Chains A and B, each alone.
Chain A
Amino acid sequence: MSGTFTKAMARNIFYGGAVFFFLLLVALTFDTMGGLPKSDNRANLTESVLRGKHIWETRNCIGCHTLLGEGAYFAPELGNVYPRRGAEFIKAWIKSQPTGTPGRRQMPNFNFTEQELDDIVAFLKYTSEINTQKWPPNIEG
């Protein structure tokens, strides 16, 4: 770095650049929030879905599964499990865990009530209807 490029110049570019791009991020965030109603499936954000999300969080399902590709990579993607398996399969599956198959990855039993199972399914259905730009590539997630 030559003598003509001084520390003061470097500093000014830093502050200018940081502020500018942060404000740009904020502006884009506002724009995104404005556009979300078209893609985030909020029309179907029912009480049951909200309860389902709460159950999803308080059981730490994300610690084994991905949801829309984010989370852990130990167990299947669940963002599209609703179209993949359907409501009845999902409920029956959760109730019948763990499989106990020796050596196979295990999912705990959470002793859910029928109501709670319906809420989880509602949450997974809502999630599967978010517009994700056609991700995942196929039904296997």
Chain B
Amino acid sequence: MKYSSQSVAMPYFIAAIGLFVGQIIFGLAMGLQYVVGDFLFPEIPFNVARMVHTNLLIVWLLFGFMGATYFLIPEEAETELYSPKLALLMFWIFLIAGAATILGYLLVPYSTLAEMTGNNILATMGREFLEQPLITKIGIVIVALAFLFNITMTMLKGRKTVISIVLLMGLWGLAIFFLFSFYNPGNLVKDKFYWWWVVHLWVEGVWELIMAAILAFVLIKVTGVDREVIEKWLYVIITLALVTGLIGTGHHYFWIGTPSYWQWLGSIFSALEPIPFFAMTVFAFNMVNRRRREHPNKAAVLWALGTGVMAFLGAGVWGFLHTLAPVNYYTHGSQITAAHGHMAFYGAYVLVVLTIISYAMPLLRGRAANGERAQVCEMWAFWLMTISMVFITLFLTAAGILQVWLQRVSDTPMPFMAVQDQISLFYWMRLWAGVVFAAGLVTYLASFFVKGDSKPLIHA
């Protein structure tokens, strides 16, 4: 750690990991509800568990992005953070608002929660991923603005590197596109159209900038490759991401009441979306192969390479699988979508956050890298979580293919619930893979407590 204000990243990372644990617990509960339908009913109906699972995911990734930024920006700008106090204040506000929202989902009927929190003044709730009460949404905007102010001021007084500029653009984009969550017209087609301006333009737009910048930062640090080279890659990757991903939004405009030309535009541009993800994989391996030093933090290198590969598989390959309109006609809204959603979110955003945590946490704890045993434990966690996620994806894909076949392709289509019975074996297997994932997560937590000879900090 080169600047003392970088230490505000620590609580952000700890909160991220804590909420990650919560996310997985609710994932497992839902995995069981899929096969034992009345599990936890009526205390925690499926939709409530799902809101908790997905909202915790989003919130912990945001904690991770913010922690990453607080760690990375002072070092890139070569100056202390503009206001560490503001950063800590925002941490507590965000954590308390987040926890209150989750408790609200769990303890109060959703319609009561809506009434209590001003949804009748401006109705924004009840749409997938954007279920948060109005006051939470406003809170998110306030935290985001204070955060962006803090970061922008830091950058203005320091060195402006490509990495920090790209990261900042991604973060501003994140905040700006979130504003569409306040627009909820009565016209369902328009509602859905602009809903994707949050969801798609996040994960296949501005978040890719954030991801590429974080990855580039870690790669510079662990490989010692020349900044010029890495920065050029960074520009190429984000160019590809936006050139394909912006019009690629059209792959969600096939069947929601929008004009049919989107079938062409969406198919063609989104079919190119795997390219930036592929470039990221090549980038990561290339830089590691050309490394100029052996960084003692082997685990961080593994997470970084894992991010490249898994993001390409989840977003690139599994995205491509169902992105062409003639295929999507059959797979739209099936378990194929769930398969892709899981591996893409895990491969790209979960892993990039765990990468920066792996790199930064030892430094925040005053060492260059963790000891051998702690790193081995961390790498076990990587493999357990990653392999089980591959299996979750494969089982859901199998379930999805059967579902699509029995319910949509067949000449004698079966009703939804009958099909679900037919494919329950795959849901059971998904659940077991999920249990292994949870074991991997426990291993990950344990890696922070493994004692041993950590590698001391040597300042260059």
- Chain B, Cβ-Cβ closest to A74: B46
B38 with A104: CB separation less than 8 A: yes
B337 with A73: CB separation less than 8 A: yes
B37 with A76: CB separation less than 8 A: no
Q: Does A98 contact B (CB under 8 A)?
A: yes
User: Mask for A55-96, Cβ within 8 A of B = 1, else 0?
Assistant: 011111111101111111111110000000000000000000
Q: Does A115 contact B (CB under 8 A)?
A: no
Q: How many angstroms from the CA of A68 to the CA of B5 in the assembled complex?
A: 48
Q: Does A114 contact B (CB under 8 A)?
A: no
Chain A stretch 125-141: residues in CB contact (< 8 A) with chain B: 126-127, 130-133, 135-141
- Chain A, Cβ-Cβ closest to B125: A57
Find chain A residues with CB under 8 A from B111 CB: 58-59, 110
Min CB distance, B271 to chain A, in Å?
A: 15
B247 with A73: CB separation less than 8 A: no
**Residue among A66, A69, A98, A137 with the most chain B CB within 10 A?**
A69
Q: With A60-B110, A73-B333 in contact, is A132–B257 under 8 Å at CB?
A: yes
Find chain A residues with CB under 8 A from B254 CB: 133, 135
A42 with B246: CB separation less than 8 A: no
User: Mask for B42-82, Cβ within 8 A of A = 1, else 0?
Assistant: 10011110110000000000000000000000000000000
- Give the residue of B184, B232, B250, B407 whose beta carbon is less than 8 angstroms from that of A10: B232
Q: Does B273 contact A (CB under 8 A)?
A: no
Find chain B residues with CB under 8 A from A18 CB: 238-239, 242-243, 246
**How many of A's residues come within 8 Å of B, CB to CB?**
74
Q: Does B128 contact A (CB under 8 A)?
A: yes
Q: How many angstroms from the CA of A98 to the CA of B40 in the assembled complex?
A: 13
Q: With A21-B243, A60-B131, A72-B50 in contact, is A1–B233 under 8 Å at CB?
A: yes
Q: With A7-B235, A104-B38, A140-B407 in contact, is A21–B126 under 8 Å at CB?
A: no
Min CB distance, B367 to chain A, in Å?
A: 34
Chain B stretch 99-148: residues in CB contact (< 8 A) with chain A: 110-111, 114-115, 119, 123, 125-128, 131
User: Mask for A10-49, Cβ within 8 A of B = 1, else 0?
Assistant: 1101100110011011001101110110011110010001
Q: How many angstroms from the CA of A60 to the CA of B49 in the assembled complex?
A: 12
- Give the residue of B127, B193, B242, B255 whose beta carbon is less than 8 angstroms from that of A32: B193
Min CB distance, A31 to chain B, in Å?
A: 8
B38 with A58: CB separation less than 8 A: no
Q: How many angstroms from the CA of A59 to the CA of B119 in the assembled complex?
A: 12
A71 with B128: CB separation less than 8 A: yes
- Give the residue of A7, A74, A98, A132 whose beta carbon is less than 8 angstroms from that of B256: A132
- Give the residue of A10, A32, A62, A110 whose beta carbon is less than 8 angstroms from that of B236: A10
Q: Does B188 contact A (CB under 8 A)?
A: yes
B408 with A136: CB separation less than 8 A: yes
Find chain A residues with CB under 8 A from B259 CB: 31-32, 35-36, 39
B408 with A137: CB separation less than 8 A: yes
- Give the residue of B246, B408, B409 whose beta carbon is less than 8 angstroms from that of A25: B246
- Give the residue of A1, A32, A40, A72 whose beta carbon is less than 8 angstroms from that of B187: A40
Q: Does B23 contact A (CB under 8 A)?
A: no
Q: With A14-B238, A130-B189, A136-B408 in contact, is A69–B232 under 8 Å at CB?
A: no
- Chain B, Cβ-Cβ closest to A25: B246
Residues of A whose CB lies within 8 Å of any CB of B are: 1, 5-7, 10-11, 13-14, 17-18, 21-22, 24-25, 28-29, 31-33, 35-36, 39-42, 45, 49-50, 53-54, 56-64, 66-77, 98, 100-106, 108, 110, 126-127, 130-133, 135-141
* Given A22-B242, A70-B256, A71-B128, 4 additional A-B pairs, CB 8 A: A1-B232, A11-B235, A139-B413, A141-B407
Closest 7 pairs between A and B when the two form their complex, measured CB to CB? A63-B47, A57-B126, A69-B333, A105-B37, A135-B255, A10-B235, A40-B189
* Chain A to chain B contacts (Cβ below 8 Å), 5 pairs: A40-B187, A64-B46, A70-B256, A138-B408, A140-B415
